[in-house]
A and B are shown apart, each in its own frame.
Chain A
Amino acid sequence: MIRGMKSGLLAAVSLAFAGCAATGGEPKAASDKPATTASADQPARFSKDPYPSTYKGYPSRLTVVKNVTIFDGEGGRIDNGTIILSSGKILSIGGADVAVPTDADVYDGTGKYLTPGVIDIHSHLGVYPSPSVEGLSDGNEATSPVTPEVWAEHSVWPQDPGFTRALANGGVTTLEILPGSANLMGGRSVVLKNVPARTVQGMKFPGAPYGLKMACGENPKRVYGAKGRMPSTRMGNMAVDRQTWAKAVAYKKKLDEGKAVDRDLAMETLAGVLAGEIRVQNHCYRADEMAQVIDMSHEFGYKIAAFHHAVEAYKIADLLKKEDICVAMWADWWGFKMEAYDSVPENIALVYKAGACTIVHSDDANQIQRLNQEAAKALAAGRRMGMEISDEQAWTWLGINPAKAIGLADKIGSLKPGKMADVVLWNGNPFSVYTRPEKVWIDGALMFDANDPKRRPVTDFELGQPGEGDVK
């Protein structure tokens, strides 16, 4: 089972590399001429990265953690392990025999655990920040059922105190911020490093692919049905989606043929999906509905990177495995609407058992602080029904699998030499309720230390407010 999963993973990683190499970061339809010389009868050369990341890792020190239990994020475990972080990268990882440099900051991890930084593939921090007031509510462009032209990064408020809580309590080092699920096509996601910055660009994960948030099911039909417009049913959802994809296919054909097109931001996003450059992150609960959406992806020729929420994934775990679609789930949310009625606490474990790419996500500003605990509950539920899943295997749900689903498995999600040094040192087994992050490094820089009040970020919003600088 594990072997199968790992080989699937490697295939996906090489596919991601291939995608990058083929496009070279430039649109396929671009002419060779720069934008300044584009004329009306020639396609313009649009930048695909007009809001570029300005994130740079903070200064890091040569760092060693030894005598520590390591979950490597790909299913491996090292007892009495050693890790060396250097210049923002993982330099080496191994057992007690790893040579420790003399000029390093050395931490004794006896009784503690070390994991890759937690990745939350489904967060609305920044677009639905704290305080949750109308003036800051920027997560749903709920004025049209299809808005692939909006970009979450244009809504994110970098001062959201939720980011700092996710870091300090949850060891979250990377988040995918999605638009909300009011719309069938809600817009582009943005992947952030969980490092405070003055600008969103200062948090943007360098080189991360974009995602397209899609939603099926009850939300779009409720939101637009209530406005007396299409879609008001599930068949309406599918019809609007299909009509939009048909338009996108035609748009992309024009681009591919080098024909002139008026700039259409919505179609640019969808063409990017059809070209395999933008990854579909699809909110979808019910098994039957996921199957419909899979057929739709075949009809129009795009790939679904992951289903999110996927409460009924256990009913079609074989299909999801066959389609190589990742599945992001809660441990035990249920009952808040009909499509969440058939939730079972074993969902995550059953999907894992089927060999599909299994992810624990939050979709919640509070639960993002305890994704390790959500994974622990799912793991316990699986074990209760007789599945043999080790702790280190379960950490793939927070490690390499979300990294794969957002297209960053080559950079984060596991502790391998050369990868970004996004690392959490936990003060006990991270699957225990009594455990908290002790230290969190991002790109090798110590960004949180439970023992050092100076390594505890306080957002602008919290300055001068009750409880400023509190442990929280």
Chain B
Amino acid sequence: MIRTLLLSAAALVALPAAAQDIAIINAKLVIGDGSAPIEGGTVIVRGGKVVAAGRGVAVPSSIESIDAQGHYVTPGIVAAFSRVGLVEVDAVAGSNDRSAARSRFSAGLDIAPALNPMGSPVAVNRAAGVTRAIVAPGASSNLFAGQGAVVDLADDMDMVTKPRALQFVAFGEAGAAKAGGSRAATFLLFREQLLAARSYARNPATLAEWGNDAMIQRADAEALVRVINGTTPLFVRVDRAADILNVLKLKGELPALKLVLVGATEGWLVAREIAAAKVPVIVSPLSDLPDSFERLGATQSNAGRLEAAGIDVSVGVFDDDDAHKMGYTTQYAGNLVGLSKLPGASGLSWDQAFAAITSAPARAVGMEGSIGSLKPGRAGDVVIWDHDPLELGSRPTAIWIDGKSQSLVTRQDRLRDRYRTPEEGALPKAYDR
């Protein structure tokens, strides 16, 4: 008897093992590329990848067929800029790997080994429909924060989809504080470190020659070389319009640089220049307060105006609780749809808004070919929702990541169920499982 119990416990832990081949039929199907939902759609996932999606797709008799009964079926949400997996409780230092502010390394830091796939924020955000996330490190001791990753939120131990998927750097007020107190110092420090990295790439011995005067460590230099040659996209946190223009100029000096603007609160003021530079933007869309002197032009119309200017816009959840509240992504996108009805404001259409939380962030990090939409060849990240996924309170009723069915149960659900009635029964609550 005990043996059976143990076995079933083990079986529970290992449950979502293999990818299933599935067909979801009768869906209100959202591809995630900005196109309109398809009534009566079908999506087929085989070997963990989408093989077909649309109307009139034939379902092979060999695979399991799930009737969505007309509900929304979408790609999983891609959190465009987050810290999920790096933090369990922010104020508990031991459980918080967001930043490495006292490390002697900076650009070389790689968050992959810091990620905790068993952390409760992974499950909570998954249950809200988030299947992938772009995770960036917080500040290091230097200007560059380090290398982020693209992760999945599946219920397994392998969280990393793509390690070293981005380098993160903050300009503006945060960058100035890191560099010594002014924006002038930020740009000088930025250039000097990249030049040092380039010298190192040409001749690794130069690093030894610099000795204690070296601006960067070897690992940092290697990471920055990948930024210079465009292998690693450079995610730049920047808000003020003038700062954005200065960041865009960096492409003139370093033509291979793959820039992504994060924040860009005043981006709408220089939308023409951002569009001309073909640089994607990840916005925190509901930031509308002049809460610093670099965000005086903050408006919820930023996303809509950038989109209208032809810029590739993603909607992120940051300047907020970026480790726990990825679930706000759909709410934020829905707000932009609501905004489009307001006189004088600029929002997004529903279709644009959904693309801004799926395919657009995938594109920003150079992974549009593998995640973020239900086009053939993409990861089998599929969500069935109980109603309009951008609407408040809408929840997934089923989730697959890489074609594997996922648990929707969280620690919060367990607490809720224990205290469905607060009174204690014949035994204390601790016996109630």
Contact = CB atoms under 8 A, between A and B. Distances in A.
B298 interface: yes
Given A427-B341, A467-B298, A471-B344, A161 B289 contact: yes
A450 to B, nearest CB: 6
A334 B324 contact: yes
Given A366-B289, A472-B299, A318 B423 contact: yes
Name B's interface SS. Answer: loop
A37 interface: no
B88 A433 contact: no
B416 interface: yes
A335 B324 contact: yes
B289 A343 contact: no
B392 A377 contact: yes
A365 B291 contact: yes
Interface stretch (B104-112, B178-186, B307-315, B329-337): B329-337
Contacts of A472: 288, 298-301
Contacts of A343: 412
Interface in A306-333: 314-319, 332-333
Nearest to B339: A436
Given A342-B415, A344-B412, A431-B392, A471 B301 contact: yes
A78 interface: no
Given A332-B325, A433-B392, A461 B290 contact: yes
B121 A335 contact: yes
Given A314-B416, A335-B323, A467 B297 contact: yes
A434 B337 CA distance: 6
Contact of B92 (A161, A333, A338, A431): A338
Contacts of A427: 341
Contacts of B300: 169, 471-472
Contacts of A334: 124, 324, 412
Contacts of A318: 422-423
Given A470-B301, A471-B301, A317 B392 contact: no
A466 B419 contact: no
Nearest to B340: A434
A60 B105 CA distance: 63
Which of B295, B334, B390, B415 gathers the greatest number of chain A CB atoms within 10 Å? B415
B91 A130 contact: no
A131 B291 contact: yes
A339 to B, nearest CB: 9
A450 B343 CA distance: 7
A377 B344 contact: no
Which of B286, B290, B321, B390 gathers the greatest number of chain A CB atoms within 10 Å? B290
A434 B341 contact: yes
A313 B403 CA distance: 39
Interface in A121-139: 130-133
A190 interface: no
A361 interface: no
A471 B334 contact: no
Interface string B398-433: 000000000000001101100110110000000000
Interface string A431-472: 111111000000000000011010000000110011100111
B296 interface: yes
A379 B395 CA distance: 13
A333 B412 CA distance: 12
Contacts of B395: 380, 384
Contacts of B230: none
Contact of B89 (A133, A336, A369, A431): A336
Interface in B188-242: 241
A211 B161 CA distance: 51
A338 B392 contact: no
B412 A161 contact: no
Contacts of A435: 338
Interface string B84-96: 0001111110000
A466 B297 contact: yes
B289 A433 contact: no
Interface string B335-353: 1011101111100000000
Ordered nearest first, which 5 A-B pairs have the shortest CB separation? A380-B393, A433-B334, A466-B297, A337-B91, A434-B338
5 contacts: A380-B395, A433-B391, A462-B296, A467-B269, A472-B300
Given A369-B286, A436-B339, 15 more contacts: A161-B290, A165-B288, A314-B416, A341-B89, A342-B415, A344-B419, A350-B419, A376-B392, A380-B395, A385-B416, A436-B338, A462-B296, A470-B301, A472-B298, A472-B299
